[in-house]
Amino acid sequence: MRPYLAAFIAIVLWSAFATLSLPLRHLPPLLVTGLALLAGSLVTLRHINAWKVRWSTFLFGSGCLFLYHFCLLKSFTYGSVPIANLINYTWPFLLVLMSSVCNGRRRGCFAQVTCCAIGFIGCAVLVLQPVTNGTFEARNAIGYGFAAAAAAVWAGYTFFIPRFETHSAWAVGGFCAASGLAALAVHAVAGPSVELSAHDLAWVAAIGVGPLGIAFVAWNHASRFCEPGLLGSISYLCPPLSLVILKIADPTAVIDWMTLTISMLMSVCGILMSQRWRRTVLSN
């Protein structure tokens, strides 16, 4: 599979994550995280031999997946799911910044940061909407903090995982299995006892196979062959696309179509400008 096609598939699947998790908000985040990650690992079971990687790679990948999904699902239990989801999807902007700063690039760095800011403003339009219309609550800040932590973890994972040993994209199945078992272990010790219905299990399976299974394999493949800054700029589509899906699934959501359109245009503008400057820098 071509790397950028794999990245696009992952982006579309991740954009549906928040919508798929809405019916599971009544369940403990650790329980949902553990079960969904285990379900995601089943997608790669046919390639279980590819799970064998160095301990450093295994611990880093598993730890990032555990922290990311715990923080993300925890953020959904506080306040507005669309806004928490939007803050989580600031990770593409963080990835572009990390690519420019950590790689020591001076030429074109200001241009990339400018494009990053343009795309970020598109998201900020949506984040600030609850503040301006008076629907923001102080307790929402807790969830938004978890969402910001999730964004930082995923940007770090995407940027640093290619710097470990060369490994198959299917190795992410081992990361999912280990982090899923860890989440279930912590839940068994410290989490509340709950009963799962067939309806709950169906939604968990949907999350596991799609956003946590196929998407992870596709993204792991893309992150190994795509330049991080370019990958991050393409991922600007995540925030508005995820909100489009949320809006379709829940027409009563506080986000209106006009604001959503503005955000989408700003994000696309950021992508186009980033690629134009990138080609200019490479040609020089």
Q: Are 58 and 164 in contact (CB under 8 A)?
A: no
- pLDDT tens-digit series, residues 143-161: 888 888 998 898 888 888 8
For 36-40, 200-204, 270-274, which range has the lowest pLDDT when averaged over its residues? 270-274
* Residue 202 pLDDT: 92
More confident residue, 119 or 217: 217
Report which listed range, 18-22, 77-81, 178-182, is most confident. 178-182
If we measure between CA atoms, which residue out of 164, 169, 174 comes closest to residue 51?
174
* Residue 203 pLDDT: 92
Report the distance separating Cα 77 and Cα 74, nearest Å. Answer: 5
103 three-state secondary structure: coil
- The pTM score is 0.72
* Residue 215 pLDDT: 87
CA 264 to chain centre: 17
Q: Helices in 76-139 by DSSP H: which ranges? A: 81-88, 91-102, 109-127, 129-132
With 50 as the cut, is the pLDDT of residue 281 above it?
A: no
Percent of the chain past pLDDT 90, that is, above it, reads 6
More confident residue, 11 or 250: 11
If we measure between CA atoms, which residue out of 216, 214, 247, 238 comes closest to residue 12?
238
Residue keyed to tokens 């200019």: 280
- Would you kindly state where each structural domain of the chain is located, as residue ranges? 3-283
Q: What is the mean pLDDT of the chain?
A: 76
* Residue 268 pLDDT: 62
More confident residue, 16 or 100: 16
With 60 as the cut, is the pLDDT of residue 270 above it?
A: no
With 70 as the cut, is the pLDDT of residue 139 above it?
A: no
- pLDDT tens-digit series, residues 221-264: 887 777 666 676 677 777 778 777 877 777 666 555 665 666 66
pLDDT band for position 129 (cuts 50, 70, 90): low
If we measure between CA atoms, which residue out of 83, 57, 53, 27 comes closest to residue 204?
27
* Residue 112 pLDDT: 55
